[in-house]
Structure 1
Amino acid sequence: MKYELTDTSGVRTYVLQVYNYMLLGLLLTGVFALLTTSSSTMMNLIYVIHDDRIINISPFGWLVSLAPLSIALAFSFGLPKFSVVTAQVLFWLYSSLMGISLSSVLLIYTGESVVSTIFIAVSIFGFMSLYGYTTETDLTSLGSFLIMGLIGLITSGLVNLFLSSTALDFAISVVAVIIFTGFVAFDIQRIKSIYNTYNINDKQIVIKIAIFGALQLYLDFINIFVHLLRLLARKKEE
């Protein structure tokens, strides 16, 4: 089956808008991760610290970590009712909270490992994004396979909370990288198709679906990055 698209100039402008939001969201995440680790006040709010060592995540830290899930659900069910400003504020809030949550990455892994993993994640994302944007193959069937894989991934992760198996954790990270790499191509093609189902003359709608598309790609990238860290990055104590 061939995947056809009309109004290519409008789609390019729209997809560029999606990428711009996504990149700004990732930048905001990075800034808040750095701000968190450089502020003793934030560190004491997010983590339980004893004798200058991080023992666990504080109750407030758990609240910050879980808050993005509620924002993502709000996007999924409430986007049509949101104003553009509301959608933008929620997206920036989501990116900021993710940055605070991911600050632990900078505490656990060496700076060199984090930077090199970012480059690898960017390369994977860029290649699959280009493929998803340019391919004429309909990737709808791939989406069904990826969603089933994601369900299996979540189930395995919950089981491993009790087993604490290093081997299973490694396998989960490998599968996660594969699944979210596939999601990049699937999501960018779906983002293009969604554009054609709305009134392209309504700029407010275009901006809102661009923000929602940016959130999807943002999550794909973050998941690829986090699981690559678990596979490739070197911890500070090693």
Structure 2
Amino acid sequence: MEHRSTYSNSAQASALQTNKVLRNTYLLLAMTLTFSAACAGIAAAMNIGPGAALGMNLAALVMIFFLNKASQSSMGILFVFAFTGLLGGSLGYTLNYYAGFQNGPEMIMQAFGATALVFFGLSGYVLTTKKDFSFMGGFLIVGLIVAVVASLANLFFQIPALSLAVSAAIVFIMSGFILFDTSRIINGGETNYIRATVSMYLNIYNLFTSILHLLGAFGGDD
């Protein structure tokens, strides 16, 4: 009887810890997305060029190193905001580019809406069913590596069809990562809400930019 009571208390503590990580992740994610959107708006208003956007992207990559080091402390939260602010700011150039299309503002809002729909739909599905999608990890990593290599190769070949194929692949890969990362949180695979927030943010960021690229290719009208 004592063993059963100990097991029950352990399970309850584990569930409470999981709920705490989940709650903190979504709270921090909401704040960083808002901050990132504000930075994107400011950068767009400043009409930043591609050089500044690239510089912010590179700075964000460097910031990942500090994030990993500080993910166990409160300083990690500051680095999360710095990281998401830089990536958000780098979006200013992209947003201005697509806003220059005749139906640009509507296209940007469509990309935003589609991203939100995919994220809430997939996250809600995992939270409701409690399914474990950890088996997808290896496939997603391989798919991401292939997409990155293809994207880098296309910098030299400049093949429009390949660019669209990569964007479509990233939409599916990021959708898979939303399932995977949400599953890891609720099943105890990820216990650090700072790392979880960064993962979710990157899923949403890449999903949004890829959907926007696809909409611009198929529905854009200069």
- Specify the TM-score bucket, using the shorter chain as the normaliser: 0.7 to 0.9
Cα distance, 1:194 vs structure 2: 4.1
The structure-2 alpha-carbon separation of the partners of 1:106 and 1:62, relative to structure 1 and needing over 3 Å to count, comes to closer
Residue type at the aligned position of 2:129: T
Corresponding residue for residue 40 of structure 2? 33
Equivalent-residue separation in structure 2 for 1:212 and 1:71 (angstroms): 13
Q: Which of 166, 183, 189 is the aligned partner of 1:172?
A: 166
Higher helix share: 2
Which residue matches 2:97? Answer: 108
Contact 2:21 2:185 in 1 (8 A): no
What residue number does 2:28 align with? 21
C-alpha deviations, 1:143-196, integer Å up to 9, x for none?
11111101111111111111100000011011110010000010011123447x
Which residue number corresponds to residue 185 of structure 1?
Answer: 179
Matching residue within 202, 214, 221 for 1:219: 202
1:181 and 1:169 mapped to 2: Cα distance? 18
For residue 80 of structure 2, give the secondary structure of its aligned residue in structure 1.
helix
Question: Which amino acid letter does the alignment assign opposite residue 113 of structure 2?
Answer: F
Query: Where in structure 1 do 4 or more consecutive aligned residues deviate above 4 Å?
Result: none
| Distance across 2 between alignment mates of 1:174 and 1:62 | 22
Write the distance in 1 (CA, Å) between the matches of 2:207 and 2:137: 17
Give yes or no for the alignment of 1:8 onto 2:9: no
Name the aligned partner's letter for residue 63 of structure 1. G
Kindly state the Cα deviation for residue 62 of structure 1 after the two structures are TM-superposed.
2.8
> Map of 1:38-117 to 2, 5 A cutoff?
38-39=45-46, 43=47, 46-47=48-49, 57-58=50-51, 60-76=52-68, 78-79=69-70, 83-84=73-74, 86-109=75-98, 110-117=104-111
| Contact 1:132-1:184 within 8 A present in 2 as well | no
CA distance in 1, matches of 2:88, 2:41: 8
Summarize the alignment of residues 113-124 of structure 1 with structure 2, pairs less than 5 Å apart: 113-124=107-118
Q: Distance in 2 between matches of 1:220 and 1:95?
A: 12
Identity over aligned pairs, percent: 25
Relative to the length of structure 1, the TM-score reads 0.78
> SS at 1:83's partner residue?
coil
Using the TM superposition, name which of 60-69 and 113-122 deviates more: 60-69
Measured after TM superposition, the shift of residue 131 of structure 1 is 2.2
CA RMSD in angstroms comes to: 2.1
SS in 2 for 1:159: helix
Query: Counterpart of 2:210 in structure 1: which amino acid?
Result: H
Any idea what the Cα deviations from partners look like across 1:104-127, whole Å, max 9, x if unmatched? 232112111111111111000111
What are the ranges of 5 or more consecutive residues in structure 2 without an aligned counterpart? 1-10, 99-103
Task: Write out aligned runs for 1:139-154 (5 A).
Answer: 139-154=133-148
**In structure 2, how many angstroms separate the alpha carbons of the residues matched to 1:148 and 1:186?**
14
For 2:70 and 2:184, the matched residues in 1 are separated by 17
Aligned residues: 204
1:102 alignment partner, SS class: helix
